[in-house]
Amino acid sequence: MQNCTRRRCAGSRFREPGSCRRREPTGEPIDSCQVTIMHDKPRTRSEIVDAMKEAARIGGESPAENFARLSALPILEKGPSDFVSAADIESERLIVAHLNEKPPEVAVLGEEGAASPDAGNGLRIIIDPLDGTNNFLHGIPQFSASLALMEGDEVTAGVTYNPLSGEMFWAAAGQGAYLGDRRLSGSGRKSLAHAVVGTCFPYNGKGDTERAAREMAAIMPRVSGIRSPGSAALEIAYVAEGRFDGFWTSGARLDLWDLAAGVIIAREAGCLATEIDGDGDPLQCRSLVVAPRQFHGHFIEIFRSTRATGTRNGAAPVAQLRY
């Protein structure tokens, strides 16, 4: 078993995971970096996905159990307005421990510090053990565990699990997207005026609040409603399932572990997922528009208008964009 150093992990395009040393709720230090996964027999992608789904279920037990006793839960501050609870850390530990038993040798990158050297086969599992920590800490029942498999620079599988509802969203490249055993195909709505759209807002000085406000002003008159439940991974999964008719974010500046699983789940459901200008890789640009095909181009045009028209609030006149 190898120890990692505090360096940018292969497969992370944005920021290094942070300190390798974390503390469990007991206060005892753990070295979560010692997680190189070793197996003699190569496994198929399907077996890896099964292991990821089971790991998400196991990891979700900690937030679900702790949700009823939030006042007693230790909370740490990673940085300004960036909180982590003992449930985040314990969930990641449980996920990594389960993955350690199942797939072939795989590198791991977790939001709360789990990291391992590149295993040499291009396989990495990206983990967000508790997406929606702010919701969790405020007693709002909307959070998830999110895992993504990367083969080289390509995301080839993703899992998003809501531990309170038991909903398991998952996808694998070329195999479709599913909620449990039910295949997903996105929203079938035809009119943008009937659409409900999800987003993630910047908060407490993190991200581009002015840009987010311009985008909100541009899209609000053209859709039925905007929602921000607080877990990007779940919101993107809702687009794949058809509850939401789109999702966008640019000002919030999300990271790889926030988006990777959701992007492949949405794409395998037949939705389009691009950066906000419609061209680049959202996992590199950290802006994202996800929508079914009948709406994606309209959203791109609307968001482009916030930077092209020069109108006071950044939005194009409604008469120019009728859908």
* Segment among 72-86, 109-123, 150-164, 204-218 with least mean pLDDT: 72-86
pLDDT 10s digits, 42-83: 468 898 999 999 999 999 988 888 776 766 566 666 554 445
Q: What is the pLDDT of residue 130?
A: 92
Which of left, alpha, beta for 120 (phi over 0: left; psi -120 to 50: alpha)? left
Instruction: Please tell me whether residues 169 and 219 are part of one structural domain.
Output: no
Domain residue limits at 168: 21-173
* Segment among 15-19, 56-60, 205-209 with least mean pLDDT: 15-19
Find out whether 214 and 313 touch, Cβ atoms under 8 Å.
yes
Instruction: Please tell me whether residues 26 and 167 are part of one structural domain.
Output: yes
Give yes or no for residue 115 having a pLDDT over 60. Answer: no
Instruction: Please tell me whether residues 38 and 154 are part of one structural domain.
Output: yes
Instruction: Please tell me whether residues 35 and 157 are part of one structural domain.
Output: yes
Find out whether 272 and 179 touch, Cβ atoms under 8 Å.
no
Joined together, the tokens standing for residue 171 give: 């996808």
Task: Establish if 320 belongs to a structural domain.
Answer: no
- In terms of Cβ atoms closer than 10 Å to its own Cβ (0-12, 13-18, 19+), residue 7 is exposed
Burial call 70-90: b when 16+ CB within 10 Å, e when fewer: eeeeeeeeeeeeeebbbbbbb
Instruction: Tell how far CA 19 is from the center of its chain.
Output: 21
Give yes or no for residue 318 having a pLDDT over 50. Answer: no
pLDDT band at residue 25 under the 50/70/90 scheme: very low
Find out whether 276 and 288 touch, Cβ atoms under 8 Å.
yes
Task: Establish if 146 belongs to a structural domain.
Answer: yes
Q: What is the pLDDT of residue 100?
A: 81
Mean pLDDT calculated for residue range 191-208 = 86
Task: Establish if 322 belongs to a structural domain.
Answer: no
At which of 107, 140, 173 does a domain end?
173
CA distances from 247 to 20, 48, 196, 292 (A): 33, 28, 9, 10
Q: What is the pLDDT of residue 286?
A: 72
Mean pLDDT calculated for residue range 284-312 = 83
Task: Establish if 216 belongs to a structural domain.
Answer: yes
More confident residue, 119 or 44: 44
Instruction: Please tell me whether residues 96 and 208 are part of one structural domain.
Output: no
Mean pLDDT calculated for residue range 197-219 = 85
- The strands making up 154-162's β-sheet, listed across from edge to edge, are 107-110, 123-131, 144-151, 154-162, 167-172, 176-179, 182-183
Q: What is the pLDDT of residue 290?
A: 97
Close Cβ partners of 69 (under 8 Å, ≥ 6 residues apart): none
Q: What is the pLDDT of residue 117?
A: 54
Instruction: Please tell me whether residues 26 and 120 are part of one structural domain.
Output: yes
Give yes or no for residue 251 having a pLDDT over 70. Answer: no
Task: Establish if 321 belongs to a structural domain.
Answer: no
pTM greater than 0.85 (yes/no): no
> What CATH number does the domain containing 266 carry?
3.40.190.80
Close Cβ partners of 133 (under 8 Å, ≥ 6 residues apart): 83, 84, 85, 88, 143
Q: What percent of the chain has pLDDT over 70?
A: 71
Instruction: Please tell me whether residues 228 and 309 are part of one structural domain.
Output: yes
Beta strand spans in the chain (E): 21-23, 29-31, 75-79, 82-85, 107-110, 123-131, 144-151, 154-162, 167-172, 176-179, 182-183, 196-199, 225-227, 246-249, 272-274, 288-291
Task: Establish if 184 belongs to a structural domain.
Answer: no
Give yes or no for residue 295 having a pLDDT over 80. Answer: yes
Give yes or no for residue 10 having a pLDDT over 60. Answer: no
291 φ/ψ angles, rounded to the nearest 5 degrees: -165, 155
Joined together, the tokens standing for residue 88 give: 């985040």
Instruction: Please tell me whether residues 163 and 197 are part of one structural domain.
Output: no
Give yes or no for residue 289 having a pLDDT over 90. Answer: yes
More confident residue, 65 or 197: 197
Please give the full DSSP string across 140-169, using - where no structure is assigned: -S--EEEEEEEETTEEEEEEEEETTTTEEE
Helix and strand totals (H; E) in the chain: 8, 16
Q: Give the best-scoring range by mean pLDDT among 5-9, 210-214, 253-257.
A: 210-214
pLDDT band at residue 281 under the 50/70/90 scheme: confident
Task: Establish if 257 belongs to a structural domain.
Answer: yes
Instruction: Please tell me whether residues 256 and 297 are part of one structural domain.
Output: yes
Q: Could you give the number of structural domains in the chain?
A: 2
Q: Give the best-scoring range by mean pLDDT among 19-33, 111-125, 167-181.
A: 167-181
Instruction: Please tell me whether residues 261 and 144 are part of one structural domain.
Output: no
Task: Establish if 15 belongs to a structural domain.
Answer: no
Q: What is the pLDDT of residue 225?
A: 97
* Segment among 1-15, 226-240, 250-264 with least mean pLDDT: 1-15
What is the rounded CA–CA span in Å between residue 304 and residue 299? Answer: 9
**DSSP secondary structure letter of residue 256:** H
Give yes or no for residue 252 having a pLDDT over 80. Answer: no
Instruction: Please tell me whether residues 203 and 294 are part of one structural domain.
Output: yes
Instruction: Please tell me whether residues 83 and 162 are part of one structural domain.
Output: yes
